[in-house]
Amino acid sequence: MYFLKSLMFDEHTLNQSNSGSIFENLTFYDQNLHNVADYQLGIVGIDEKSLTAFRNNFYLFGDHFQLPVIDFGLVAKSDNLVKNLEKLSSQIPLIVIGGAPLSFSKSTAVVSKILDAGHRNEMKKFIGYQRHLAKLKDYNQIDEYQNISLGELRKNSMMVEPLMRTCSNISFDLSAIKQADLGIEANNIVGLTLEEASQISRYAGITPNMRIAHFPNLQPQFAFGNIAKEYAACVSTMAWYYLEGLLNLNYESPAEDEHISYVINSEYFEEPLTFLKGQRSGRWWMKYGENTEYFPCLHEDFIQSKEGNIPDRLYKYCLS
């Protein structure tokens, strides 16, 4: 592909890998030798420094997956950067390393401590935003059922999973991670733990329609210290759990016949609520009345609805 540029790996570092590392089963892309369709995940970098640091960490991790992974090297920077990445992701799911945050054409989960005007765009769903950093105008206008604050995530991290099912991409701003876990001294004492960030990445991995997981670099938020080292340590950990999610991916839709169906009549609505439970994945969906579109939900949403306590976000969906 004309917009890809091979990047030599650090042979000395990676050849020190222990037996059973990701590096042992990795393929470095050569357009004359490799068919993209033969692989389940592609890794591509936007800037060389970030990609090199990531490689030297991530490829040393243990390979618990045996999934065919291909390293594409660098994508050429151009006005068509997003278009080229989306073209490549139509053939293979991607982990995109480095560069600045990007605006994709399809629905994107944005993990960020800042809730900006982008939340009014239905194509963006914010996860982990901090309410005290949000402007009052933005906070008052937010659709709280399509965006998850840090506090809400802490109460129930499983809320992320059904929201993720409505997205095709995820963009992870590392400044959403608190400084104690990020490893950089900065004014960022409140935020996600690395464990929480890794859980979000795993949810992204098990999402059937997820195509791009983008980890922008740490510049210009933190312009001091060994940025590449801290970036690589965090992103490598999250990428490993994203890969674990891919291993447990179940392609399942509410249109399939073998789902278990539950119908609930509620005094609040004229028509019944129909809940579906996926037999393979255990995922849940819900629809109202004669609607043909199912809304991703949780098992606890079904339990609460059965008890007559319709969750607010489902209530809003039924009235929309």
What CATH number does the domain containing 120 carry? 3.40.800.10
Give 23's pLDDT tier (boundaries 50, 70, 90).
Answer: confident
Per the domain annotation, does 253 fall within a domain? no
DSSP annotation of 177 reads B
The answer on pLDDT for 26 being more than 50 is yes
Q: Which of 247, 274, 289 is the last residue of a domain?
A: 247
**249 vs 48, more confident:** 48
Residue 94 host element (H or E): strand 94-97
Domain shared by 268 and 127, yes or no:
no
Domain shared by 194 and 282, yes or no:
no
In angstroms, the Cα distances linking 191 to 30, 101, 123, 131, 195 are 40, 19, 24, 11, 11
Per the domain annotation, does 310 fall within a domain? yes
- Dihedrals phi, psi of 184, to nearest 5 degrees: -130, 135
Domain residues for 304? 260-319
Average pLDDT value for residue range 157-178? 93
- Identify the three-state secondary structure at position 274: strand
Residue 13's pLDDT is what?
53
Least confident of 4-8, 54-58, 62-66, 144-148: 4-8
Average pLDDT value for residue range 248-267? 83
Residue 227's pLDDT is what?
65
Per the domain annotation, does 199 fall within a domain? yes
Give 225's pLDDT tier (boundaries 50, 70, 90).
Answer: very low
Split into its structural domains, the chain has a count of 2
Please give the Cα distance from 55 to 39 (Å, whole number).
18
Q: Which of 48-52, 149-153, 256-260 has the highest mean pLDDT?
A: 149-153
Please give the Cα distance from 26 to 319 (Å, whole number).
49
**Spatial CA neighbour of 305 closest among 320, 291, 280, 288:** 288
The answer on pLDDT for 62 being more than 50 is yes
Q: Which of 223, 247, 271 is the last residue of a domain?
A: 247
Domain shared by 225 and 308, yes or no:
no
